Amino acid sequence: MKKNKRAILLLLILGLCLGGSSGTVIAQVASGDMSVLDSTNYEGIPWFRKIHLRGYAQLRYNGLLQTNPDLNCNQCDVAWGGNGGFSFRRIRLVFYGQVGERLYIYIQPDFASSSGSNLHYGQIRDAYFDFGLSKDNTFRLRFGQSKVPFGFENMQSSQNRLPLDRSDGINSAFRNERDLGVFFYWAPKHIRRRFSDLVAKGLKGSGDYGVFAFGVFNGQVANRADLNNSQHMVTRVSYPFELKNKQIIEPGIQFYTGKHVVGEVSEGVITKENSEYLDSRGAVSFVLYPQPFGLQAEYNIGTGPEYNANTNEIEQKRLKGGYVMANYRIGLDNGKQALYPFVRYHYYDGGKKFELDARSYEVKETEIGAEWQPFKYMELVAMYTVSNRRYEDAELPINHQKGNLLRLQVQFNF
């Protein structure tokens, strides 16, 4: 009886702190749903309940069954190849919250960045501020450094993705998927909830990047200064349809264009004037969410800078590539655990504008693996990779590597 009285007293005190209509507010905040708060309820919430903290960390080992130590992928995981060993792929903390009726903040540093042979530097991944153009925030402007709305897999958090790394074909558009700019997003309220549910229910959603997106950004990728004062533009349309059998499919289409300056060029390599190249792509996406079978596919074509080993020149060349992935969701222990077996094939033929000499690539790679979630705060991934990669620049003008390896990861969510 005394415990019940104490609980009632605590609820009354909390109600006084949050204002007269606190019951709904408490339930909404506890569930993480800040978007449905109206101004009357919201203004009564103290500041320390508006700012939240979460994060995740990934520890990897790539050295098992490795057949070629010269095979690597710097954009994917710098711990590929060589002597390998254990490595942190990501150590992230996220500070976020709906701090005003129309203002949402999101700041995410990462502490697993590297510089040369030194590891674990802190670096900003996201730092953006969403301003609602309408009271329900269905129309919003995003200011700052964030993901560029191009490609489902690029939008999908690494915390939710099944394969350990994004595919070269789509991810070659932007290093770390991000840039600095201003982005407009629109999605109806019920679709914003659906985007949220696709993540919360373990269906590997991308999060809420709107049904329609349009943005203007620097075009030199995240954490790099603009080099030509000529901004890129991007637009994306994506809609999660719910079918009669409750299955959800999400088709999407996206496009971006701009002028990119190749920032890292070896001595003697010939470039266009000011090392500036047209950087333009279009892509289509399709997602069948795993209930229990899932399918995911994307493909993009475009043009950009690419190194030519025969002429020692960075040329304007066409690019193409994408992936297809099948996966399955198996509930274990009455839904307390989940197992996701998957297989993915991806392909890319083109340059990577943000690497040395706009390094030339031809990638053919198959990955077979599974993710096991024994607890909500812990995930284990084992993935066997069969890789065929040609990647050439002025330092390595002839470089074609093939090999297989088993990659392991443990992820902690907090």
Q: Is the Cβ–Cβ distance between 346 and 322 less than 8 Å?
A: yes
Q: What pLDDT score was predicted for residue 17?
A: 37
**In this structure, are residues 106 and 142 in contact, taking their beta carbons and an 8 Å threshold?**
no
**Enclosing H/E stretch for 171:** helix 168-171
Query: Hey, what are 245's tokens?
Result: 């059998």
pLDDT tens for the 414 residues of the chain, in order:
444 444 444 433 334 333 433 333 333 333 334 444 334 356 678 877 889 999 999 999 998 999 999 999 988 898 888 877 899 999 999 999 999 889 999 999 999 987 767 788 899 999 999 999 998 999 999 999 999 999 999 999 999 999 999 999 999 999 999 999 999 999 999 999 999 999 999 999 999 999 999 999 999 999 999 999 999 999 999 999 999 999 999 999 999 999 999 999 999 999 998 999 999 999 999 999 999 999 999 999 999 999 999 999 999 999 999 999 999 999 999 889 999 999 999 999 999 999 999 999 999 999 999 999 999 999 999 999 999 999 999 999 999 999 999 999 999 999
**CA contacts within 13 A on the Cβ side of 171:** 22
Q: What pLDDT score was predicted for residue 33?
A: 41
Residue with tokens 């985007």: 195
Output the pLDDT for position 18.
Answer: 38
How much is the pTM? 0.87
Q: What is the pLDDT of residue 113?
A: 85
108 vs 352: CA distance, rounded Å? 25
Q: Which domains are seen in the chain, by residue range?
A: 1-50 (no CATH), 51-413 (2.40.160.10)
Q: Which string of DSSP letters, residue by residue, matches 356-414?
A: GGG-EEEEEEEEEEEEEEEETTEEEEEEEEEEEEEEE-SS-SS-EEEEEEEEEEEEEE-
Q: What does the pLDDT read at residue 43? A: 66
Instruction: Quote the pLDDT of residue 27.
Output: 34
Q: Which residue has the tokens 């066409």?
A: 318
> Could you give the CA distance from residue 371 to residue 341 in angstroms, rounded to a whole number?
6
Which residues neighbour 288 within 8 Å (Cβ) at sequence distance 6 or greater? 247, 248, 249, 294, 295, 296
Separation CA 153–CA 150 (nearest Å): 9
pLDDT at 41: 55
User: Is residue 271 a contact partner of residue 313, using CB atoms and an 8 Å limit?
Assistant: yes
